[in-house]
Structure 1
Amino acid sequence: MAWLLVLQGCAGWQSALDPKGPAAGELAWLIWFFTGLCAVVWVLVMVALVAPLMMRSPARSEPLALDAGAEHRKVRLVVTAVGVTALILVGLTLLSFFANRTLAAIGSDAALTIRVTGHQWWWEVRYEAAQPSRILTTANEIHIPAGEPVRLVLTSTDVIHSFWVPSIAGKLDLIPGYVNVLDIKADKPGVYRGQCAEFCGAQHANMGTFIIAEPRPQFDGWLNDQLRAAAAPTSADAKAGADLFLKRACVMCHRIGGTVAGGTVAPDLTHIASRQTLAAGTLTMSRGNLAAWIADPQGIKPGSHMPVVDLDGDELNAIVAYLEGLK
């Protein structure tokens, strides 16, 4: 049910037939054209099949006698059908070729490059920059400037995943040891849900992602905020939670900028409270869901690599209070 609640914030349906960008628009047009043309061909084939069965020919004294005129008409009909079929196949091939050229041209002047790495079962999102201080690593949500081309560099650390945000672009595989490139562009601001489209293990269905397209000034503000170190805790509970976090095994997997927590095998938590979801779209972001995820990750996402940490009630509330302040 959680992912249904998350979808309420999305711009339109998670559908390849609800395009919100030039790549998705090109693919949607191609789908509709192929479907319509194939439907016409199917109808014509059915007519050609049924019509001779429905026609009544006068009885002949010689059943095996051939009508030369009728035979010639049949030959011409078959030759014409073969020719039309060949033209349709060539035409569809050319349409696919020009569609690929259109898709390839989307990112030709992309100023922003984002490296997306697939893990079981979450997405690592790294914003590349010439200045090391401007490199940002986050997880599961991809913010982009609306109306501008963006280049996604796709790879995986474990098994084959597939990145697919249907309203924005077609899907492309993330393969261990190999790099694929997907150029995207969102026509207008909005939240567009995506999904891993290649079976990758027990929690494949709970490996969601979101593209959040924003006007350029809003995107720049978000990026600058994300580049800052984590906010220092202010309340007593949050301070106690920060101390607990840094003393427990959490620091072995997670990173929080501005602290000694430097793990790289799990999502970066520097600004976790600014995200819309937890566990790659499995839960909406809230205090209750954050506590539930920390207390029993295997009950929410069985098979995930998030271990159960032994915490009593006060310790759990303190850590949740700390993480809630990381915006």
Structure 2
Amino acid sequence: MRRLLPPLPLVPPLLLAGCSGVQTPLDPYGSEAERIAHLTWVLFVGGTAIFGLVMALLAAALVAPGWMRGLLGSRRFVIGGGIVFPAVTLAALLLYSLGTSRALVTPRGDAPLRIEVIGRQYWWEVRYPDLGEGAVTANEIRLPRGREVELHLSSADVIHSLWIPNLHGKMDMIPGRVNRQRFTAERTGVLRGQCTEFCGLQHSLMAFWAVVQEPEEFEAWVARQREPVPPPEGEVAARGMRVFGEAGCGACHAVRGTEWQARLGPDLSRIGSRLSLAAGVLDNHRGTLAGWIAGAQDIKRGNSMPAYGRALDGGELLALATWLEGLR
């Protein structure tokens, strides 16, 4: 019979692998996530200890001498172990978890950086209203290290839920309502976030990246985002810009500094600088850009992006992808 489980020596490393990485609450990048990680370990360790105790008492009830089994079945032990102990333990855990919850919603400063995140089927619109007109991106949240931020979370269609495990807990995004979540990222790095509320066919492919940068790098990124896009460099990129307009892409997408300012789809002003395409589905480079434009419905069926594989020939796709890749 073929072995289905890993060899026993590999089990501890596999379990420990889930304690670090770009999408785990057990590798906190800020104090909020650290509180959640502490609560998680308290529940893990406490639950394991209680489970071990119950199993030991069960074994004793089955194989222990008669005097011990009689003690386990006594009225005093049943009341103490079956009523008093669970009540005290659960009350202590409740008080500890309520204290953690209170700390998570208590603001640390009066002037956090506001970031608007709008959930859409199946992508994320991200705006920075405190940083001026034009600070807009998609499927990527840039964060300055050491500065408190406040996410303003809303939805344009159905209920979504945002979760960046290394930074905070999940928060629902409800149509017609704005929920707020505050945290401070205290380490730089690239973290993965995910929609954690079923929102339709491509819910599992609705991810994003949270990029924590040093403050000066973040300010440089913001300044770059706010600038109008430069003229295309080279004949191929210029052709790509013409294809963008002729194919009607501007009916859904905005490109800063051009006539195209629609908001139905992601803002493409600096798409070349983003880490991924299609909400974390593809790495971002010229080849994947062309592939996504040509066959968006084959890659992520049910999203709002039409497939242009039959409308544009290979040269047009390459030119369009070249121009978009240059928008950095």
Mark yes or no: TM-score above 0.5: yes
Residue 112 of structure 1 corresponds to: 113
Q: What displacement does 1:184 show? A: 2.2
Deviation of the 1:289 alpha carbon: 0.6
Say whether 1:22 aligns with 2:21.
Answer: no
1:124 corresponds to 2:125? yes
- The aligned residue for residue 48 of structure 1 is 57
Query: For 1:209, what is the secondary structure of its paired residue?
Result: strand
Supply the distance in 1 between the matched residues of 2:71 and 2:287 (Cα, whole angstroms).
Answer: 78
Conservation of the 8 A alpha-carbon contact between 1:106 and 1:185: no
Q: How many residues align?
A: 304
TM-superposed CA distance for 1:84, in Å, is 2.1
Percentage of matched positions with identical amino acids: 41
Residue pairs, 1:162-173, within 5 angstroms: 162-173=161-172
Report the counterpart of residue 179 of structure 2 in structure 1.
180
Could you tell me how far apart the structure 1 residues matched to 2:22 and 2:128 are? Answer: 27
Instruction: Give me the whole-angstrom Cα distance separating, in 2, the residues matched to 1:21 and 1:72.
Output: 46
- For 2:46, the equivalent position in structure 1 comes to 37
Structure 1 position 96 matched with structure 2 position 97? yes
How far residue 103 of structure 1 moved from its aligned partner, in angstroms, is 1.0
1:79 corresponding residue in structure 2: 79
Residue number in structure 2 paired with 1:192: 191
Distance of aligned partners of 1:262 and 1:212 in 2 relative to their CA distance in 1, 3 Å threshold: same
Q: What is the Cα deviation at residue 107 of structure 1?
A: 5.1
Cα distance, 1:273–1:73 mapped onto 2, change above 3 Å = closer
Q: Distance in 2 between matches of 1:285 and 1:147?
A: 28
Name the SS of the counterpart of 1:154 in structure 2: strand
Could you tell me which residue of structure 2 aligns to residue 64 of structure 1?
none
1:134 Cα deviation from its structure 2 partner: 3.9
Asked whether the 8 Å contact 1:110–1:148 carries over to 2, the reply is no
Compute the displacement of 1:242 (Å): 1.3
Checking the alignment, whether the CA contact within 8 Å between 1:20 and 1:187 is kept in structure 2 is yes
Q: Report the Cα distance in structure 2 between the residues aligned to 1:31 and 1:265, rounded to whole angstroms.
A: 40
Question: Taking structure 1 as reference, are residues 71 and 289 closer, same or farther at Cα in structure 2, changes over 3 Å only?
Answer: closer
- Give runs of ≥4 in structure 1 deviating > 3 Å: 55-58, 70-73, 106-110
Aligned to 1:218: 217
Displacement after TM superposition at 1:50 (Å): 3.0
Change (3 A) 1:73 1:119: closer
Task: Specify which structure has the bigger relative contact order, considering alpha-carbon pairs within 8 angstroms and separated by 6 or more residues.
Answer: 1
Q: Which letter maps to 2:287?
A: G
- What letter corresponds to residue 80 of structure 1 in structure 2? G
Structure 1: runs of 5+ lacking an equivalent: 1-10, 59-69
Unaligned runs of 5+ in 2: 1-19
Bigger Cα displacement from structure 2, 249-258 vs 21-30: 21-30
Give the whole-Å Cα distance in 2 for the aligned partners of 1:48 and 1:111. 52
Instruction: Verify: 1:294 aligned to 2:293, yes or no.
Output: yes
Show the 5 A alignment for 1:250-265.
250-265=249-264
SS class of match (1:199): coil
CA displacement 1:124-156 (0-9 Å, x = unmatched): 001112x7x445221011001012211111111
**2:152 match: secondary structure:** strand
Return closer, same or farther for 1:135/1:313 CA change in 2, 3 Å cut-off: closer
Maintained 8 Å contact 1:164/1:171: yes
Work out the CA distance in 1 between the residues paired with 2:32 and 2:212.
15
8 Å contact kept, 1:107–1:151:
no
Q: Give the TM-score, by structure 2 length.
A: 0.87
TM-score w.r.t. length of structure 1: 0.87
Does structure 2 retain, via aligned residues, the 8 Å contact 1:110–1:151?
A: no
> Which residue identity is paired with 2:115?
I
Contact kept? 2:294, 2:307, Cα under 8 Å: yes
SS at match of 2:74: helix
Tell me the equivalent position of 2:207.
208
Closer, same or farther: CA 107–151 of 1 in aligned 2, 3 Å: farther
Q: Deviations over 1:23-63 (max 9, x none)?
A: 211111111101211222222222333323323439xxxxx
Cα distance, 1:103–1:247 mapped onto 2, change above 3 Å = same
Q: Whole-Å Cα distance in 1 between the matches of residues 73 and 62 of structure 2?
A: 17
Give 1 or 2 for the bigger CA radius of gyration: 1
Over 3 Å counting, the alpha-carbon distance change for 1:50 and 1:307 in structure 2 is same
Deviation at 1:246, TM superposition (A): 1.9
Indicate if the aligned counterparts of 1:231 and 1:325 stay in contact, CA closer than 8 A.
no
Aligned counterpart, 1:161? 160
